[in-house]
Structure 1
Amino acid sequence: MFEDIDREVSDAVQYYYQTLRGQAAEHEESETEVKGRRSEVLGGQQMDGFAWLIEELLVEQTSINADYIKHDYQATLPGYYRPEKEWDTAVVYDDQLYAALEYKSQGSSIGNNLNNRTEEAIGSNTDIQKAYEEGLFEPSPAPWVGYLILMVDNKASQKPRQLRQPNFPADDEFQGASYVDRMELLCLRMLRQRLVDGAGFLLSNEEIGIDGEYREPNEELAFERFARSLISHVNGHLPEDARASSHE
């Protein structure tokens, strides 16, 4: 699938904007292949296209059975600072947690929602890391934690923003930064601080996204790198006999 990864990501972006317009159900009814497992994963939520793509990549590149790839309610995991959290995707094999992923979007009302997204991401990722450290997933290996966001790309999101600094100056990298800059910096810092093992940052808007167009402004946060890191981790921990028997 990696030879067609741009097209696959494009399809996921297009599904997001079709769902935003209420067209996803009509699109899926016209696709004869949307049966069985795919129809379960594509439940009509805006970021479901990415959940489906991640599942397809895992099944193809690791040979893990799709039954071990959980979504939404079935991807609920315990936390340390709270009792539980519903992740978007979790890979659970033989009672061991291999990965937990979150897919987010950022569109309208960016000013208020961006702070919420930041607090949510830091909190969730800190929580699952601490839960692992305290043995809540024992005997699991350290789970691969991923954060992927599709953000609106327009004049409002690209406009430099002033900061409120009544007491102390903000970090230099936030000075004059746009909302897009802030989100990119969040993803990059979570990755470099190892709060996550993979971060994906994509930009699009409704005008071009409905045709599947998007861009990736930072190579470190590209979807392909994100996906390859996840696959490498799962392959590194999946027993050989599980690979051999996963499709039997």
Structure 2
Amino acid sequence: MAIDLVGYELKARQSVQAFWGNREAARIKQIESGRQDQGERASVTAGKNMDGFLALILDVIRANGPEKAEIYQQRAALTLPGFFRPTKLWDLLVIYKGELIAAVELKSQVGPSFGNNFNNRTEEAIGTAHDFWTAYREGAFGQQPRPFAGWLMLVEESPKSLSPVRDKSPHFPIFEEFKGASYLQRYDLLCQKLIQEQLYSCASVISSPKSAVETGEYHDHSSMTSLKTFISSFAGHIAATAARFE
């Protein structure tokens, strides 16, 4: 059976428009209430910026997955046991007949502090994956096939995210691919390495300028980390689960 990508291109553009629109609406609401947060925080406290992408992923599940799959997206039902910590909160969980089918993280970064945020996101992504797969190995989810672990990131396109970055490593040289790489290139490299090291079933980074609130414009940065690769990989896993239980 062919997998259904649910017309993801249009829905992705709509998700990008919603991302920027929700951020601006949150900022205006903060200003009008007289309680504006500092800097970019005024645009993120509403916590709904990636909901369009969440809806896209839900469409993929419904189009390809078992009819009665349990889909969890409310905070109270999104924790999984960890190995190095008691629990980890995800953005989306899919469970079917007692098996964990998928766990997905949705992240975003808007300037200006790309350096600190990139390092924090990198450490978080690696730590989450290592904890998740160690817990899986130790039977935290029972005896079952490997679930899908997904990581999807949207980064603002701006001069700061697109410009080459210099690094200092006085004792040993950094890997060649990082030399002069912009933060967007570094996110792409991060996602490639997360996949190559099998830390995530699929990891994707897309970028978009703030002006995309009007157009939904977004860009991929490599075939391995493209949104189409993420959606295809996820849809294939969901479809394979449905076939396994037929």
TM-score for both structures, normalised by structure 1: 0.84
Residue-pair matches, total: 224
**Counterparts of 1:3 and 1:51, CA distance in 2:** 13
**Counterparts of 1:208 and 1:47, CA distance in 2:** 15
Residue type at the aligned position of 1:93: Y
Residue type at the aligned position of 1:169: P
Structure 2 spans left out of the alignment, 5+ residues:
30-45
Partner of 1:155: 159
Partner of 1:35: none
**Counterparts of 1:240 and 1:134, CA distance in 2:** 24
Task: Using the aligned pairs only, state the percent identity.
Answer: 34
Q: CA deviation at 1:133?
A: 0.5
Does 1:12 pair with 2:15?
A: yes
Q: CA deviation at 1:140?
A: 2.7
Matches within 5 A, 1:1-248: 2=5, 4-22=7-25, 45-65=48-68, 68-73=70-75, 74-108=77-111, 109-238=113-242
> Per the alignment, in what secondary structure is the counterpart of residue 151 of structure 1?
strand
Q: Is residue 152–residue 204 contact of structure 2 (8 Å, CA) maintained in 1?
A: yes
Structure 1 spans left out of the alignment, 5+ residues:
27-42, 244-248
> Per the alignment, in what secondary structure is the counterpart of residue 164 of structure 1?
coil
**Counterparts of 1:237 and 1:5, CA distance in 2:** 21
The two structures, once aligned, show a CA RMSD in angstroms of 2.1
TM-score for both structures, normalised by structure 2: 0.85
**Counterparts of 1:165 and 1:115, CA distance in 2:** 15
**Counterparts of 1:127 and 1:16, CA distance in 2:** 29
Residue type at the aligned position of 1:114: F
**Counterparts of 1:93 and 1:122, CA distance in 2:** 26
**Counterparts of 1:64 and 1:222, CA distance in 2:** 28
Structure with the larger RCO, 1 or 2 (CA within 8 Å, 6+ apart):
2
**Counterparts of 2:68 and 2:232, CA distance in 1:** 18
**Counterparts of 1:182 and 1:44, CA distance in 2:** 25
1:64-108 deviation per Cα after TM superposition (whole angstroms, max 9, x unaligned): 336x11114222111111110110011111221011110100111
**Counterparts of 1:11 and 1:219, CA distance in 2:** 22
> Per the alignment, in what secondary structure is the counterpart of residue 100 of structure 1?
strand
1:175-208 deviation per Cα after TM superposition (whole angstroms, max 9, x unaligned): 1111111111000110111111111111102112
